[in-house]
Amino acid sequence: MFYLIISTLFFTIFSTSISSLHAEEFWVTLTNDLYKNAKYQGNVPMSYEGENYKTGITLIKIDSAYIDTLSYLKHKNPKLQGFITHYTINEARNFLNKDSINESQQFIPPSVDYTLTQEALIPQFIAEIKESNIVDTIKNLSDFFNRYYKSTWGTQSAGWIKNKWSTLANGRADITVSEFKHQFAQPSIIMTIKGKDKPNEILVLGGHFDSIAGYFGGANNRAPGADDNASGISVITETIRVLLEKNYYPSRTIMFIAYAAEEAGLLGSKDVANDCKKKNLNIIGVMQLDMTNYKGSEKDIYLISDNTNVRQNTFIGTLIDNYVKVSWGQSACGYGCSDHASWTANGYPASLPFESTAEEYNPNIHSENDLLSVTNNRADHSVKFAKLAIAYVLELAK
Ligand code: BES
Ligand code: ZN
pLDDT for residue 99:
66
19: left (phi over 0), alpha (psi -120 to 50) or beta: alpha
Q: Which atom of ligand 1 is nearest to the CA of 263?
A: 19
pLDDT for residue 12:
42
Per-residue model confidence as pLDDT tens digits over 199-233: 999 999 999 999 999 876 589 999 999 999 999 99
Which ligand is closest to the CA of 341, given by its number?
Answer: 1
Cβ(255)–Cβ(204) under 8 Å?
Answer: yes
On the question of pLDDT at 18 being above 70, the answer is no
Residue 83 CB partners (closer than 8 Å, separation 6+): 28, 29, 30, 31, 34, 70, 74, 265, 335
Helix residue spans in the chain (DSSP H): 2-21, 32-36, 67-76, 89-97, 122-126, 131-142, 152-169, 231-245, 267-278, 310-319, 340-345, 380-396
pLDDT for residue 14:
45
On the question of pLDDT at 378 being above 60, the answer is yes
Which ligand is closest to the CA of 370, given by its number?
Answer: 2
On the question of pLDDT at 276 being above 70, the answer is yes
pLDDT for residue 77:
81
Q: What percent of the chain has pLDDT over 90?
A: 71
Q: Name the DSSP class of 226.
A: I
Q: Which atom of ligand 1 is nearest to the CA of 264?
A: 19
On the question of pLDDT at 329 being above 50, the answer is yes
3-class secondary structure per residue, 234-281: HHHHHHHHHHHHCCCCCCEEEEEEEECCCCCCCHHHHHHHHHHHHCCC
The catalytic residues are 208, 228, 262-263, 290, 366
3 state DSSP class of 147: coil
Residue type, 336: G
DSSP notation for 333-361: -SS--STHHHHHHTT--EE-EESS-SSSS
pLDDT for residue 129:
98
Instruction: Using the mean position of ligand 2's atoms as its centre, give its distance from the Cα of residue 317 in Å.
Output: 25
Instruction: Using the mean position of ligand 2's atoms as its centre, give its distance from the Cα of residue 6 in Å.
Output: 28
Residue 87 CB partners (closer than 8 Å, separation 6+): 26, 27, 183
On the question of pLDDT at 148 being above 90, the answer is yes
Whose CA is closest to atom 14 on ligand 1? Answer: 337
Q: Which atom of ligand 1 is nearest to the CA of 71?
A: 22
Residue type, 222: R
Is residue 176 within a helix (H) or strand (E), and if so which, with residue range? strand 175-180
Residue type, 237: T
On the question of pLDDT at 10 being above 60, the answer is no
On the question of pLDDT at 68 being above 70, the answer is yes
CATH topology of domain 18-97: Alpha-Beta Plaits (3.30.70)
- Which residues sit with their C-beta closer than 6 Å to ligand 1? 71, 74-75, 82-84, 228-229, 262-263, 265-266, 290-291, 333, 336-338, 358, 361
- Beta partners for residue 207, in sequence order: 258
On the question of pLDDT at 4 being above 70, the answer is no
3 state DSSP class of 29: strand
Instruction: Using the mean position of ligand 2's atoms as its centre, give its distance from the Cα of residue 340 in Å.
Output: 13
pLDDT for residue 264:
94
How far is the C-alpha of 375 from the C-alpha of 356, rounded, in Å?
A: 14
Which ligand is closest to the CA of 225, given by its number?
Answer: 2
On the question of pLDDT at 283 being above 70, the answer is yes
Whose CA is closest to atom 18 on ligand 1? Answer: 265
pTM of the model: 0.82
Q: Which atom of ligand 1 is nearest to the CA of 366?
A: 13
Whose CA is closest to atom 20 on ligand 1? Answer: 337
Please name which of 246, 199, 212 lies closest in space to residue 75, comparing C-alpha atoms.
Answer: 212
pLDDT for residue 334:
85
Q: Where are the domains of the chain?
A: 18-97, 122-396
Least confident residue range of 7-16, 135-144, 154-163: 7-16
Helix/strand/coil percentages in the chain, nearest 5: 40, 20, 40
For the chain, the farthest-separated pair of C-alpha atoms sits apart, in whole angstroms, at 68
Instruction: Using the mean position of ligand 2's atoms as its centre, give its distance from the Cα of residue 206 in Å.
Output: 15
pLDDT for residue 259:
98
Mutate to test the pocket of ligand 1, among 338, 344, 354, 359 (most ligand atoms within 8 A of CB): 338
pLDDT for residue 145:
97
The answer to whether the Cα torsion of 371, 375, 378, 380 is positive or negative is negative
pLDDT for residue 8:
45
Least confident residue range of 4-13, 16-25, 224-233, 296-305: 4-13
Confidence class for position 185, pLDDT limits 50, 70, 90:
very high
Phi, psi of 174 (to 5 degrees): -90, 5
What is 122-396's CATH number, 1.10.10.10, 3.90.550.10, 3.30.420.40, 3.40.630.10? 3.40.630.10
Least confident residue range of 79-83, 118-122, 285-289, 307-311: 79-83
Please name which of 209, 257, 259, 206 lies closest in space to residue 230, comparing C-alpha atoms.
Answer: 209
Instruction: Calculate mean pLDDT across residues 234-252.
Output: 98
Instruction: Using the mean position of ligand 2's atoms as its centre, give its distance from the Cα of residue 350 in Å.
Output: 18
- Bridge-based pairing state of the strands 175-180 and 57-63: unpaired
Instruction: Using the mean position of ligand 2's atoms as its centre, give its distance from the Cα of residue 41 in Å.
Output: 22
Directed axis angle between helix 310-319 and helix 380-396, to 10°?
110
* Residue of 239 and 35 predicted with greater confidence: 239
Mutate to test the pocket of ligand 1, among 148, 208, 337, 343 (most ligand atoms within 8 A of CB): 337
Instruction: Calculate mean pLDDT across residues 355-375.
Output: 96
Which ligand is closest to the CA of 77, given by its number?
Answer: 1
Per-residue model confidence as pLDDT tens digits over 88-139: 888 888 888 776 655 556 788 889 999 999 999 999 999 999 999 999 999 9
Whose CA is closest to atom 9 on ligand 1? Answer: 358
Q: What is the mean pLDDT of the chain?
A: 90
